[in-house]
Amino acid sequence: MKADAATAHTRLAQFFEGVQLPTLPEVAHTLVSTLNDEDVPFEKVRQAISRDPALTAKLIRLANSARFGLPRQVVSLDDAITMAGLNQVRTLAMAACLASSFAAVKGVDSKAFWQASSATAGYAQWLARTLGTDVQQSWLAGFMVRLGELIIAQKLPDQIFEIERLPHLAGVRWERETSALGFTEAHVAAELARRWNFPDSIVLALRSAADPLAAEPFNRLGAIVHVAALLAELELDEHKSAADAIAALPAELVQTLQLDPVWLVEHMPDVKTFLDDSFV
C-alpha cells in the first residue's frame, strides 16, 4: 500500500507540472486564512465579503434559497450573517469564489457538475451533523472533492471522455481515474487545497476521500465525504430510493463510521433540497 501511495504521489506531481491553477479572488484568500481560527474574526470576514458587491448579491440569493428555510427574507449581508450564521456565510462565500474561479471545460456538464458538488456538500453536512463533526468544514470538503476533475479535463481532455462516459455509476469515476491516471480527482482536489493554503484537515480529508478505508491513519472527514459523494451519485445519477441508496454504500465503511443504516434511511434528506444552480 505504501508503494502504491508513493507511485500515486509521483504521478500526481508529474501531472501538476505545467498545470495552470485557477486564480482565486483576493476575498477567497482572506476567507481561507480565517479557517484555522477557532474564533472567527467577524469583522475580517464581513469586510472581505462586503468589498465584493457581486459576491454579496450571490450570498443574499443563496441565503434566500428554500434549503435554508430562514424565517424571513434576507435583504443584506448583515442580515445573512445574523440569520444564517457567520460560519455558514463564510463557507458559502468560499464555495461561490471557488465556482467562479473555474471555467467550463469540454467533456464535463457544468450544470450537472455543480449540482453534484452541492449535493455532495449537503450530504456531507448532514452526515457530519449526525456524527457530531464540524458541519461547515464537512460541507466545504464535500463541495471541493470533485474540483480535481475540472483540472484533469483541462490538462488531459482526451481522458475525460472515458472518465465521464455513461453509465455514471456511484464510485466508478474514481475507479476509471485510478486506472487511467494512477490517482483520482480527489487527490487533485487535495493538492489544489494544499497549494491554496486550506487547513490540513481539509487537505487530508480530500486526499483520503476516494478510498478512506485504505488511508493510514483513518480519516473520518474523508470517509464522510466519500459516503456523501456516493449518496449524491446514487440519488442524482442512479435515482435510487433512500433504502436502496443506503444499502448500496460500502458496509465496512458504514460500520467504521458507526452509522445506523435504519436511521439513515428514515432520516435521509431528499437530494433536491441540496441542489442549487447559483454556482453554475
Assign 280 a pLDDT band (cuts: 50, 70, 90). Answer: low
Q: Is the per-residue pLDDT at 278 higher than 80? A: no
**186 close to 227: Cβ distance less than 8 angstroms:** no
Mean pLDDT of 110-127: 95
Q: Is the per-residue pLDDT at 234 higher than 70? A: yes
Assign 100 a pLDDT band (cuts: 50, 70, 90). Answer: very high
Q: So where are the chain's domains?
A: 2-17+104-279, 23-101
Tens of pLDDT along 129-187? Answer: 999 999 999 999 999 999 999 999 999 999 999 999 888 899 999 999 999 999 999 99
- Give the pTM: 0.93
User: Residue 20 contacts by C-beta under 8 Å, 6 or more apart in sequence?
Assistant: 154
Closest to 144 measured CA to CA, from 229, 55, 245? 229
- DSSP states of the chain as a string? -HHHHHHHHHHHHHHTTT--PPPPPHHHHHHHHTTT-SS--HHHHHHHHHT-HHHHHHHHHHHTSGGG--SS---SHHHHHHHH-HHHHHHHHHHHHHHHHS---TTS-HHHHHHHHHHHHHHHHHHHHHHT--HHHHHHHHHHTTHHHHHHHHH-HHHHHHHTPSP--TTHHHHHHHHHHSS-HHHHHHHHHHHTT--HHHHHHHHHTTSGGG-SS--HHHHHHHHHHHHHHHHHTS---HHHHHHTS-HHHHHHTT--HHHHHHHPPPGGGT--GGG-
Mean pLDDT of 105-121: 94
From the number of C-beta atoms within 10 Å of its C-beta (0-12, 13-18, 19+), residue 166 rates as exposed
- Quick one: 2-17+104-279 is in which CATH superfamily? Hypothetical protein af1432 (1.10.3210.10)
Cα three-residue angle 35-144-30, rounded to 5 degrees? 30
Q: Is the per-residue pLDDT at 235 higher than 80? A: yes
Task: Quote the pLDDT of residue 171.
Answer: 94
Task: Quote the pLDDT of residue 2.
Answer: 47
**108 close to 150: Cβ distance less than 8 angstroms:** yes
Residue percentage of the chain with pLDDT more than 90: 75
Residue percentage of the chain with pLDDT more than 70: 98
Phi-psi region of 124 (alpha: psi -120 to 50; beta: other; left: phi over 0): alpha
Q: Is the per-residue pLDDT at 217 higher than 50? A: yes
**Greatest mean pLDDT among 3-17, 48-62, 91-105, 243-257:** 243-257
Q: Is the per-residue pLDDT at 1 higher than 60? A: no
Q: Which of 24-38, 163-177, 202-216, 246-260 has the lowest mean pLDDT?
A: 24-38
User: Residue 175 contacts by C-beta under 8 Å, 6 or more apart in sequence?
Assistant: none
Matching residue, cell 468560499: 94
Mean pLDDT of 216-227: 97
Mean pLDDT of 73-79: 89
Q: Is the per-residue pLDDT at 9 higher than 50? A: yes
Task: Quote the pLDDT of residue 170.
Answer: 93
Mean pLDDT rounded to a whole number for the chain: 91
Task: Quote the pLDDT of residue 276.
Answer: 76
Assign 125 a pLDDT band (cuts: 50, 70, 90). Answer: very high
